[in-house]
Structure 1
Amino acid sequence: MEQTPDFSQARWFKSNNSGDGGCVEVAILPTAVGIRDSKTENSPVIVVSRDEWSAFVAGVRAGEFEG
């Protein structure tokens, strides 16, 4: 079983384009990327691989998720 990475000391950040409303925060570790809700203290962390995160970011930049 794969162990969940420790995000307790991670540096979390959100986009500079974020407003005061709901956003997500991201923390990048050497082995994984954590994603959480910025408005909920102690929000659960969704963990993805760095490769998955890179593919997601590339898709956003390419406009793959625009309606």
Structure 2
Amino acid sequence: MGMPELTSRTWRKSSFSGGNSDCVEVSLAPTGVGVRDSKNPQAGRLTVPRATWRIFLAALR
């Protein structure tokens, strides 16, 4: 499931990560959410529908 619009989007890292590079980055797009490894962003990304992302975040809370 490709989401080409994520390639030019802004990727954000949690402020809780501080200066640590061992974190994931997230990019929001109209059709979904991209998640990638901040240490190796070229390795690929996981993309999920926005509704799935909301369910995931609710489960974390």
Q: Structure 1: 5+ residue runs without aligned partners?
A: 62-67
Identity %: 39
Please tell me the root mean square deviation across aligned C-alpha atoms, in Å. Answer: 1.3
Structure ranking higher in helix proportion? 2
Q: Which amino acid aligns with 1:12?
A: W
From the superposition, tell whether residues 59 and 44 of structure 1 become closer, same or farther in structure 2 (CA, over 3 Å): same
* 4+ residue runs over 6 A deviation: none
Cross-structure match for 1:27: 27
Q: Which runs of 5+ in 2 are unaligned?
A: none
The whole-number CA distance in structure 2 between the counterparts of 1:41 and 1:31 is: 20
The residue matched to 1:59 in structure 2 has which SS? helix
Identify the structure with bigger relative contact order (alpha carbons < 8 Å, sequence gap 6+): 2
41 and 5 in structure 1: CA distance in 2 versus 1, 3 angstrom threshold: closer
Deviation at 1:44, TM superposition (A): 0.5
Higher strand share: 2
Question: Are 2:12 and 2:26, in contact at CA under 8 Å, matched by a contact in 1?
Answer: yes
Amino acid at match of 1:29: A
- Partners of 1:41 and 1:48 in 2: how far apart? 17
Could you give the per-residue CA deviations for residues 3-53 of structure 1, whole angstroms, max 9, x where no partner exists?
511121111001110141410000010001000000014130101000010
